[in-house]
């Protein structure tokens, strides 16, 4: 059942950013759930889906949805430029004062944005951490290693760095500019926020198994991760 159009919404306005690369199997479900949740929570909203050079039916699916509801805004990158560039592009396209991002794999319930939003009154970023994470054991292991490494190299303490469920004030991106082109966007967000004196809160969010398709994110080796983290640290120390 849809939300009562006359009822007040807990979130006045929100830009949601969702990167997508070859997600034709799960994208229709992700969009359906996102549109329903945003409609029930927000007075005004937009869903910016950054198609990062997909070669499957992702562009056609996005076109169909945007024709049906213009608040679904496809943004296309050609060729594929990677997760960090896709998110940065989406953030730059956002129109509203609260900016949220998640992935196109439908592993989160976007109704839980309502848990994060009140904390924007006292923090520049509100980040989810996955409760009862529903991923294969190898991803759980690599995530634990990554959290530990970024803490040691960057000095940032966060419970679940790469959780794709984060909410920002627009002003966050006035102070934090994204420069990485690898896979460290979440670590960079935390590290640059710390450097700029910004604050964050963390909230537990429900994590669900992926119902369709498979991840297109390549797992990085420990060596690759350390190399990228050290490059980021050197840039931060140099004022870049």
In order, the DSSP letters of 187-209 are HHHHHHHHHTT--EEEEEEE---
- Indicate the range of 89-93, 100-104, 107-111, 223-227 predicted with least confidence: 223-227
Other Cβ atoms within 10 Å of 3 Cβ, number: 14
Largest CA distance in the chain: 54
Q: What is the pLDDT of residue 156?
A: 85
Nearby residues of 30 by Cβ (< 8 Å), 6 or more positions away: 18, 23, 104, 105, 106
Token digits of residue 153: 């190299």
**Angstrom distance (rounded) from CA 161 to CA 146:** 8
Encode pLDDT of 192-213 as tens digits.
999 999 999 999 999 987 765 5
- Indicate the range of 160-169, 185-194, 230-239 predicted with least confidence: 230-239
Q: What is the pLDDT of residue 72?
A: 98
Q: What is the pLDDT of residue 1?
A: 44
Average pLDDT over residues 37-49: 98
Protein fold of 11-237: Spore Coat Polysaccharide Biosynthesis Protein SpsA; Chain A (3.90.550)
Higher local confidence (pLDDT), 216 or 30: 30
Domain ranges in the chain are 11-237
Higher local confidence (pLDDT), 227 or 106: 106
Please state the pTM of the whole predicted model: 0.88
Q: What is the pLDDT of residue 233?
A: 86
pLDDT at 103 over 50: yes
Average pLDDT over residues 147-161: 85
**Angstrom distance (rounded) from CA 34 to CA 110:** 6
Confidence of residue 4 (pLDDT cuts 50, 70, 90): low
Higher local confidence (pLDDT), 176 or 144: 176
- Indicate the range of 31-35, 67-71, 151-155, 215-219 predicted with least confidence: 215-219
Token digits of residue 51: 């198609």
Q: What is the pLDDT of residue 41?
A: 98
pLDDT at 2 over 60: no
Q: What is the pLDDT of residue 3?
A: 54
Q: What is the pLDDT of residue 7?
A: 67
**Angstrom distance (rounded) from CA 123 to CA 118:** 9
Confidence of residue 118 (pLDDT cuts 50, 70, 90): very high
Backbone angles phi, psi at 123, to 5 degrees: -145, 155
pLDDT at 214 over 80: no
């Amino acid at each position: 059942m849809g939300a009562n159009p006359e009822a007040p919404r807990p979130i006045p306005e929100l830009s949601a950013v969702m990167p997508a690369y070859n997600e034709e199997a799960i994208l229709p479900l992700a969009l359906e759930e996102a549109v329903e949740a945003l409609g029930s929570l927000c007075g005004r909203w937009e869903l910016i889906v950054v198609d990062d050079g997909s070669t499957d039916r992702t562009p056609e699916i996005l076109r169909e949805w945007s024709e049906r509801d213009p608040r679904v805004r496809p943004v296309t990158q050609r060729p594929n430029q990677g997760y960090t560039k896709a998110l940065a592009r989406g953030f730059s396209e956002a129109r509203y004062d609260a900016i949220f991002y998640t992935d196109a794999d439908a592993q989160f319930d976007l109704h839980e944005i309502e848990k994060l939003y009140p904390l924007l009154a006292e923090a520049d970023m509100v980040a989810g951490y996955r409760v009862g994470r529903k991923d294969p054991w190898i991803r759980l292991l690599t995530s634990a290693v990554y959290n530990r490494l970024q803490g040691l190299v960057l000095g940032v303490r966060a419970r679940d760095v790469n959780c794709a469920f984060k909410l920002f004030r627009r002003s966050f991106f006035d102070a934090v500019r994204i420069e990485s082109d690898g896979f460290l966007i979440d670590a960079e967000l935390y590290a640059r926020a710390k450097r700029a004196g910004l604050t964050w809160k963390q909230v537990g969010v429900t994590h669900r198994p992926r119902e369709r398709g498979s991840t297109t994110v390549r797992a990085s080796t420990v060596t690759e991760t350390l190399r990228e983290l050290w490059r980021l640290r050197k840039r931060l120390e140099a004022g870049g």
